[in-house]
Amino acid sequence: MKAIILAAGVGSRIRPLTDNCPKSLLKIGGSTILERMISHIQGCGINEIVFVLGYLQGQIRDYVATRFPELDAHFVVNDRYAETNTGYSLMLASDLIGDSAFVKFDADVVFDREILRRLLECDHDTCLCIDKNIDLDAEEIKVIIEGRNRVVRASKTVDPEEAAGESIGIEKISAGTARLLFAELEKMMAETHYHQEYYEAAYERLIEKDVPFYALDITGLRWTEIDTREDFARAEEMFKPRS
């Protein structure tokens, strides 16, 4: 099992905090987002991580080398980070993942380690973490599930009334599904009009081909995605050190 951390984006909606600092290196509750994430990954027994970088990539490389010198870290750069999206970035990790299963993380998600532990122990080999107790709007990746928690849709365009919850940006992908996923991403990204697609668009294309994806309910555990200044303030309150 390997991990992929997608950390190429600019974080423009949280400026000026990201003018000179990658979003993943912002501090929440005394730790950077990336430090907390890597510590959780290592704490759950994974020590090989592929980082997809772009904006201010040198800062992230230096931070990982200094703070986690024993980590088996690999770096791939999305030079087109300003004009592409997460689907393109995920595709770039293909060669470094090879035939392995992996857990994928958006680099702006702050979360409890228990979420990752449950995901790794989940019976399903390909699984999205979802939160059912959340107000859904146009920004969220909304998930529709059917019997045995099988995912049938995962997209921002899903009707909130039909959705079971929000995908939080952490997924476990089996080795077999990974091969299909990277092939699908390669096919999509060969056409420029797909460059702004999120990786969930590839998930949905596989789901339509009857490749099984499942949902793991992590409702009640602490997590938040940091897109805006309001998200940042919420995260600081949620993860402030306990006295």
- 243 domain residue, yes or no: no
- pLDDT above 90 covers a percentage of the chain that reads 65
Calpha distance 109→32 (Å, rounded) = 11
Calpha distance 26→108 (Å, rounded) = 9
- 180 domain residue, yes or no: yes
Half-sphere exposure of 139 (CA within 13 A, CB side): 9
pLDDT (0 to 100) of residue 138: 55
pLDDT tier, 147 (very low <50, low <70, confident <90, very high otherwise): confident
pLDDT (0 to 100) of residue 108: 93
Taking 70 as the threshold, does the pLDDT of residue 213 lie above it? yes
**Count of beta carbons in the 10 Å neighbourhood of residue 235:** 22
Q: What is the mean pLDDT of residues 28-50?
A: 94
How high does pLDDT run on average in the chain?
90
What does the pLDDT look like over 62-96, one tens digit per residue?
999 999 999 999 999 999 999 999 999 999 999 99
pLDDT tier, 22 (very low <50, low <70, confident <90, very high otherwise): very high
What does the pLDDT look like over 176-212, one tens digit per residue?
999 999 999 999 999 999 999 989 899 999 999 999 9
- 12 domain residue, yes or no: yes
Q: What is the mean pLDDT of residues 144-148?
A: 83
Calpha distance 232→88 (Å, rounded) = 26
Taking 70 as the threshold, does the pLDDT of residue 136 lie above it? no
First to last CA, the chain: 36
Calpha distance 42→179 (Å, rounded) = 24
136-152: buried (b, 16+ CB within 10 Å) or exposed (e) per residue?
A: beeebbbbbbeeebebb
User: Which amino acid is present at 99?
Assistant: D
Kind and range of the H or E element at 91?
helix 86-91
Calpha distance 11→228 (Å, rounded) = 8
Q: What is the mean pLDDT of residues 138-151?
A: 80
**Read out DSSP for 127-189?**
EEEEESSS---TTS-EEEEEGGGEEEEEETTS-TTT-SEEEEEEEEE-HHHHHHHHHHHHHHH
Q: To the nearest 5 percent, what fractions of the chain are helix, strand and coil?
A: 35, 25, 40
What are the backbone angles phi and psi of residue 24, rounded to the nearest 5°? Answer: -65, -15
- 75 is in which domain, residue-wise? 2-238
Looking at residue 149, which CATH number applies to its domain? 3.90.550.10
Indicate the angle between helix axes 175-189 and 200-208, nearest 10 degrees: 110
For the chain, state the CA radius of gyration. Answer: 17
pLDDT (0 to 100) of residue 137: 63
Q: How many domains are there within the chain? A: 1
